[in-house]
Structure 1
Amino acid sequence: MSPAENNPGRGDAPRPVLSVRGLTIQVATPNGAKTVLEDISFDLNQGETLCLAGESGSGKSMTALAIMGLLPQPMARITAGSISLADGTELSSRTEAEFRKIRARRISMIFQEPMTSLNPVMTIGSQLAEVLLEHDMCSAAEAPAKALALLKDVRITDAEKRLRQYPHELSGGMRQRVMIAIALACDPQILIADEPTTALDVTVQAEVLELIRALQREHGTTVLMITHDMGVVAEMADRVLVMRSGKQEEAAPVKELFATPRTDYARALLAAVPRLGDSPARPDPDRRHDILDVEGLSVRFPMRSGLLNRVTANVHAVENVSFKIAPGETLALVGESGCGKSTIGKALLGLVPSDGSIRVDGDQVVGVGQAALKQVRRNIQMVFQDPGASLDSRMTVGAQVAEPLQVHGIATGSELRDRVEWLFRRVGLTPDQMDRYPHEFSGGQRQRICIARALALRPKVIVADESVSALDVSVQAQVLELLRELQEEEKLAYLFISHDMAVIDQVADRVAVMNLGQMLETGSREQVLRNPAHPYTRRLLSAVPIPDPTRKRPPVLPRAGEVGTPVFKKGQGPEPFALNEIAPGHWVAAHPDTEQAA
């Protein structure tokens, strides 16, 4: 496909600022060289956004690392093809010293996880100044002012204060803005954004994407964006290159790809994308008996200071939260990072100290001894966000699924193995995989193993904490379907914790929206997602990316009032939100706008 065909509507002769031709990369393995990228070709034209889309392992990030000269040496190497800039500069054969002059000045990159990309022992100002001075963008005396200007360019609040802070003192969205500032410090012609919003809340994601668009307009920067989120692709891309298993599957303008994908893989990828509002109605659960009953749950973490290390303040992570879940029902907890969702999940299993009442099938969790808590945990289990981190790399997966049965003395010997084999089959795996280790499985398979482990004790409640957020859309769809099947067969009650509103729309019977440890709005899926009453809920929904390039997502609604804090001095606390029932089962915290919604 020629550059002109790739980029219609931007003039008769678009100017490629980067050309990749026949790029092939091999990596060294114990069994010899393995090709991980094969014959990739594309042009990146001046001022456009090209998205490399595809699932994990498709070669997207490997392509970006090759362009940046960051392939892990000597394990990976370019074996064929070329990467050239507009002036003919060939990048595929450059030395590290030569690349240092090219990076930042001509090509820069925003990495997926800002916390691992920023230096934890240097202030934000020092890290910005380091880039400026390394590339002779200004003098040492001018660096502080230049760094401040860069932070203001990326719309960071209270920029003067941020210069003196360390990365751990900033939120995820702020850290990503700092990464963008560093990437743009030398005003590069090309900006590579590698999954820049994957770990961010939906509202922060929308803000970061809008920031990239604004900076692109102001600086004329050309963007190569890497993502597996097709909603982001629809919102950002001019053209799309779909990749699969290291090969180029399909390339087309974004509207053409979404309207008429030519390959089965592209069609399957688009079909798996969750869309807000498209989910069918779910049958009403039997509410005659609640399997999980939470009343007045509060979780506070003490903060100590001074010479005597006394408690001077508390983080009110969860404050006076109440809810119930019936067998076969899914309650979804949604909200931005830090709102208390995951803390509630941990409190339900007794993993953090809490006040209030938590009853699982009538048994109390709060304030009981370890023996009683062990019995309660037979009825409630948790599936964590990162299956790689929640599995022990030194144990076979079969042993890890068997472990709960052994701890509770439920099965031994052949009975134990038969039970584990049944669990593996139940989650779509095979018994011959039981003797393998976690690193031998894909992300989706590892999450299935975690689900099998959670099912081992035949619990009545499962807490799914961001259990599909790290998965590709097609694998995500498979895991969600598995969870639905298990719920129907076992009448499982789910507390589903997520910040992805489209996924929530697929799985939830009821939705509870949280902010700063308290519930702002709760009701049925239709009430909360189709007719949101609280401004905070409406803001969350306004930020959901629309996987349709023909529909422009309206601007994210402004935040109502100042951002609060869950930290209060000892003896003080947040003002409790008074929930009003504006319709049967639809409860909303008091707010001027909710009266009109009612």
Structure 2
Amino acid sequence: MTAEENSGRAAPRPVLTVSGLSVQVATPEGAKTVVEDLSFTLNHGETLCLAGESGSGKSMTALAIMGLLPYPMARISAGSIRLADGTELAGASERALRKVRAMRISMIFQEPMTSLNPVMTIGRQLSEVLLEHKVCTRAEAPGRALELLRDVQITEAEKRLGQYPHELSGGMRQRVMIAIALACSPEILIADEPTTALDVTVQAEVLELIRALQREHGTTVLMITHDMGVVAEMADRVIVLRNGRQEEAAPVRTLFAAPETPYARELLDAVPRIGEAPARPAPDRVRHTVDVEDLSVRFPMRGGILNRVTAQLHAVEGVDFRIAPGETLALVGESGCGKSTIGKALLSLVPWQGSIRIDGQQMAGLSPRALKPIRRNVQMVFQDPGASLDARMTVGKQVAEPLVVHGLASGSELQDRVEWLFRRVGLPPDHMDRFPHEFSGGQRQRICIARALALRPKAIVADESVSALDVSVQARVLDLLRELQEEEGLAYLFISHDMAVIDQVADRVAVMNLGQIVETGSRDQVLRDPQHSYTRRLLSAVPIPDPTHLRPPVLPREGPVGSPVRPLGEDVTRFAMQEIAPGHWVADRAA
């Protein structure tokens, strides 16, 4: 039973009260307020979600509560943060805050790799928290660490204690972060975008884990997210933030049923929902821009005293697909299934075997010099625009760089072309002299799209190109991609783990598992009538942005979890595909 339903039976018991909170950050132009006059109460056992776009002040609010604002660059300029016993956190000393952290309030950060120590084992990091807060003795710490890993349902918990963060998957690392956060049984758990970078199945498992721990321990959760599907599934109450100010606050069902403010309505209207996307006109498939046959990508695995190759990672194994001009093929699947590797193979960024034709030109066996003109026809938009842009170059020079490298423009012609590209993606040309850090995430992704369009390619690989963006920014970027496709006849290979986004953009869908395609067909065939157990499992994990919808448990995996790693000389059994309807192909066994 939710806190919202309980409210009629018992008066809510506040565990944290925030009153008139304001946070300022230092900028070259002077102090800037990023959280302004924010007030709310967090009640025992409930889940309160802070929702809003990037820059709305969500994470700054969490850091202020934890006393982790990067002083002197950021500080609490006004307001109060008070625990139930009257303990004031705003302005408290570091020594006082250390007693509160972990013991009474704990936090799960968005990216576990930046929060975990890469040179310490998982067991040591868990033990360090327990010993620092005197939860147990040094002799008891290993046993207690093992219990914590088991509590968060991590597989082979004993083995994980001796491993390092880089040896774990993203979902496992997030479970370790949850175990660390719960090590001291805190009253309040702050979860800052805990599932943003995770696959839908892992996301569903992590959310269910948080709910289970909340039921067992009565933990109060303050969740920060821009994913309205997660809000609908997890929240009792929601506070919508915009530019550091509270825009709207309401019980979750009230907010979704009847949002009062235009901004909240805009935010909810931008949320992609499976099954609501309009039908897309079928592209002309007389010819193909991208033609891939029997594509395989394998990486050698070294080991032993002599560091010899002992095994191979079969990242992609025997994949076939074609993309027509103006068509979008979506590749979906969990992390490690080979989606991004296929995208890199199309640009010859990884060694591959098989056949790849771009606009009729064969890429197999060509030298780097011979590949250069073919690469003009296929470009890539990466997941993280901040990482794919050079922080030391102006964005104008970065958009111009492909034209310079290929010798296609210079002087005033180059300047005119870059200005046109900026206008084409909805950015003013006077922004060309700025650096990447001066733009928002959505603007940076538009710059990356402009750079990809510079050479007038025939095909674009979009690798998780909108997964890190807020829903409203995501909708605008997807509209831009769709508009460019219609005008230029671009073929898209759209790689994503977000099934709702796939529903919006795809003409055809290919579902991958362990380097192979297990189901492929039109968007409606695969997403409306999935036939393979793996596809059904992925779809069962998608959060529905409707708080009245009770999502059933994620379907279990059929058979043991496989591995793409094989000893030298051992081949992978390829799935035989059967056509169950025109254009709808399904692997003949569970994968």
TM-score (norm 2): 0.98
User: Is the contact between residue 54 and residue 244 of structure 1 (CA under 8 Å) also seen in structure 2?
Assistant: yes
Displacement of 1:76 after TM fit? Answer: 1.1
Counterpart of 2:85 in structure 1 is 87
Structure 1 residue 393 corresponds to structure 2 residue 378: no
User: Which residue of the other structure, out of 16, 19, 23, is the alignment partner of 1:18?
Assistant: 16
Tell me the residue number matched to 1:596: none
Cα distance, 1:366 vs. partner? 2.3
Structure 1 stretch 535-544 or stretch 153-162: which is displaced more?
153-162
1:273 corresponds to? 271
Pick aligned residue for 1:351 from 344, 349, 352: 349
**Alignment RMSD, CA only?**
1.2
CA displacement, residues 450-495 of structure 1 (integer Å, 9 cap, x when unaligned): 1011001110000000000010000000000000000000110000
- Opposite residue 120 of structure 2, the aligned amino acid is M
Q: Distance in 2 between matches of 1:409 and 1:132?
A: 60
Question: Does the 8 Å contact 1:105/1:187 carry over to 2?
Answer: yes
Aligned partner of 1:478 in structure 2 is 476
Query: Partners of 2:350 and 2:68 in 1: how far apart?
Result: 41
- For 1:152, the equivalent position in structure 2 comes to 150
Q: What does residue 576 of structure 2 align with?
A: 578
Q: Given the alignment of the two structures, is residue 132 of structure 1 paired with residue 130 of structure 2, yes or no?
A: yes
Q: Give yes or no for the alignment of 1:33 onto 2:59.
A: no
Deviations 1:350-385 (A, max 9, x none): 100100000001111222011211000111100000
For residues 416 and 583 of structure 1, what CA distance do their matches in structure 2 show?
A: 50
Equivalent position of 1:143 in the other structure: 141
Which of 97, 100, 103 in structure 1 is aligned with 2:101?
Answer: 103
**What secondary structure sits across from 1:418 in the alignment?**
helix
Indicate if the aligned counterparts of 2:519 and 2:532 stay in contact, CA closer than 8 A.
Answer: yes
Matched-pair contact (CA < 8 Å) for 2:558–2:590: no
Identify the residue that residue 165 of structure 2 maps to in structure 1: 167
Which letter maps to 1:215? L
How far is 1:42 from its partner? Answer: 0.2
CA distance, structure 2, for counterparts of residue 64 and residue 460 of structure 1: 45
Matched residues in 2 for 1:197 and 1:306: separation?
36
The equivalent of 2:403 in structure 1 is 405
1:74 corresponds to which of 72, 75, 78: 72
Deviation at 1:26, TM superposition (A): 0.9
Match of 2:59 in 1: 61
Give me the whole-angstrom Cα distance separating, in 1, the residues matched to 2:464 and 2:353: 24
Confirm or deny: 8 A CA contact 1:6 1:252 kept in the other structure.
no
Q: CA deviation at 1:439?
A: 0.8
Q: Secondary structure at the match of 1:553?
A: coil
Contact 1:350 1:366 in 2 (8 A): no
- Residue 409 of structure 1: CA displacement? 1.1
- 1:11-55, Cα deviation, whole Å (9 max, x unpaired): 342110000000011112222211111000000001000000000
Distance in structure 2 (CA, Å) of the matches to 1:521 and 1:15: 50
Among 223, 247, 250, the residue aligned to 1:249: 247
Equivalence for 1:297: 295
Distance 2:98 2:401 in 1: 50
TM-score (norm 1): 0.97
Contact kept, 8 Å, 1:230 with 1:270, in 2: the verdict is: yes
Cα distance in 2 for partners of 1:436, 1:105 equals: 45
Q: CA deviation at 1:7?
A: 8.2
Decide which of 18, 39, 42 is 2:40's aligned counterpart.
42
Q: Secondary structure at the match of 2:312?
A: strand
- After superposition, residues 147-226 of structure 1 pair within 5 angstroms as 147-226=145-224
CA contact (8 A) 2:295 2:316 kept: yes
How much has 1:6 moved relative to structure 2? 8.4
Q: Distance in 2 between matches of 1:441 and 1:372?
A: 36
Q: Is the 8 A contact 1:255 1:550 kept in 2?
A: yes
SS in 1 for 2:517: strand
Contact 2:532–2:590, Cα closer than 8 Å, also in 1 = no
Uncovered stretches (5+) of structure 1, i.e. residues with no partner: 594-598
1:588 corresponds in structure 2 to 586
User: Residues of 1 paired with 2:399 and 2:24: CA distance?
Assistant: 35
**2:553 pairs with 1:560:** no
Q: Does 1:444 align with 2:446?
A: no
Report the 3-state secondary structure (helix = DSSP H, G, I; strand = E; otherwise coil) of the residue aligned with 2:504. Answer: helix
Which residue of structure 2 lines up, in the alignment, with residue 366 of structure 1?
364
Q: State the secondary structure of the residue aligned to 1:447.
A: helix
**Quick check: 1:511 aligned with 2:491?**
no
Give the Cα separation in 2 of the matches to 1:308 and 1:123.
25
1:424-573 aligned at under 5 Å gives the runs 424-573=422-571
Partners of 2:329 and 2:507 within 8 A in 1: yes
Q: How far, CA to CA, are the matches of 1:575 and 1:336 in structure 2?
A: 20
| SS state at 2:272 partner | coil
After superposition, residues 280-359 of structure 1 pair within 5 angstroms as: 280-359=278-357
Please tell me the residue identity of whatever aligns with 1:11. R
Distance 1:331 1:338 in 2: 19
Distance 1:235 1:508 in 2: 26
Contact 1:7 1:14 (8 Å CA) reproduced: no
Equivalent residue letter for 1:279: A
Cα deviation digits, residues 232-275 of structure 1 (max 9, x gap): 00000000000011111100000000001011100000000000
Distance in 2, matches of 1:28 and 1:362, equals 55
What CA distance in whole angstroms lies between the structure 2 residues aligned with 1:562 and 1:176?
Answer: 22
Task: Name 2:382's counterpart in structure 1.
Answer: 384
Summarize the Cα distance change of 1:142–1:308 in structure 2 as closer, same or farther, 3 Å threshold: closer
Query: Matched residues in 1 for 2:189 and 2:8: separation?
Result: 19
- Structure 2: unaligned runs, 5 residues or longer: none
| Kept after mapping to 2: 8 A contact 1:154/1:211 | yes
Cα pair 1:7 1:253 within 8 Å, conserved? no
Contact kept in structure 1, 2:4 and 2:236, CA below 8 Å:
no
Question: Between the two proteins, what is the percent identity of the paired residues?
Answer: 79
Q: Is the 8 A contact 1:60 1:243 kept in 2?
A: yes
Determine the C-alpha separation between the residues in 1 that align with 2:422 and 2:274: 32
Matches of 2:242 and 2:183, distance apart in 1: 33
Q: Given residue 331 of structure 1, which amino acid in structure 2 is its aligned partner?
A: L
Letter in 1 for 2:493: L
Q: Distance in 2 between matches of 1:119 and 1:174?
A: 15
